[in-house]
Amino acid sequence: MKYRKFSNLGWNVSEIGLGCWAIGDCWGDISEREAKQILKEALDRDINFFDTADMYGDGRSEKFIGELIKSTSERIYVATKCGRRWRGTNYPRGYKQKPMEEFVDRSLINLGIDCIDLLQLHCPPIEVCSNKETYEIMDEIVKKGKIAYYGVSVFNLSEAMEAIKFPNIKSVQFVFNIFRQKPAEIFLKEAKKRNVAVIARGPLASGLLTGSIDRDTKFPENDHRNYNINGKFFNVGETFSGVNLEKGYKAVEKLKKLLPDNLSLTDLALKWILMHKEVSVVIPGATNKSQVKMNTNASELEDISSLLPKINSIYDELIKPDVHNHW
């Protein structure tokens, strides 16, 4: 496993982390035993960065990570999120002082720790991202010793651009993959200039970029790839990266033809992100421990520069017209 610097914090984080949404909810049924196997495999594979949120399984994901922390002497960096547990008429009131502190206190209990390494505002609307009061609240929580640092996790790059105007933002998280290339065009250099860490989520486009999903694949009722395909429950960009599935399948077929014998499509997709040195950590999720093993392979792969023009050509032809200007 290779490691990268995370902002100016003195952290060396595994360039492949673990996204822990799936062990919370929204990806079908994952048992407690399977969740713990996934986390242990990640630790055994030298992953030291775990990304979660208070609403993933209403704390289920955080609690599993808390048990992992207790089980090891290894330094684990935990990034959680808050702000979205209040939905409906209360949203976006969840980003105010009182609820934020309540959310943080609950996460501390779930994780079994005294201080959260990195707290991320969970996909706040742009009016929250651009409001200095938001960050004054976060600064107060830092002063109380409940969180060490904070950042934002966003749906749209416009929200990211607003957030990094504030000096204490240490990280920004967004969807970044072969099918969502806009961050490379307008954000990564700006993040580097401001010494803001970049967390790349959704690197495999909900499994589409593994090549294991096709037109005949069926998903369980409690899998967002079933119920959120049109963005009915949350931002459609979080499900298959917002890609039209028919065009996505065609793009995957073309990408597979580029693969040398020693590379899987998962390898290619993750290595493509790692080729962007501004990225601090990539956080693929996993629904079983074998996927963790496959994901960590990307850290040891050779340069794929020779394939980039063809990859980008496939994106320009099939994906870019539909997604590039949406997020």
- Can you give the pTM of this predicted structure? 0.96
Alpha carbon distance 177, 39 (integer Å): 23
DSSP β-ladder status, 11-14 and 3-6:
antiparallel
Residues of the domain holding 175: 3-323
Token pair for 120: 């991320």
Average pLDDT over residues 238-266: 96
Q: What is the mean pLDDT of residues 25-39?
A: 95
Residue 89's pLDDT band (cuts 50, 70, 90): very low
- Residue pair 83/121 in contact by the 8 Å Cβ criterion: yes
Q: What is the total count of domains within the chain?
A: 1
Contact yes or no for 21/32 (Cβ under 8 A): no
CATH of the domain at 71: 3.20.20.100
3-state secondary structure of 33: helix
Which residue from 91, 38, 75 is spatially nearest to 234, judged by alpha carbons?
A: 91
173-197 pLDDT, tens digit per residue, is: 999 999 999 999 999 999 999 999 9
The burial of 261, by beta-carbon neighbours within 10 Å (0-12 exposed, 13-18 middle, 19 or more buried), is given as exposed
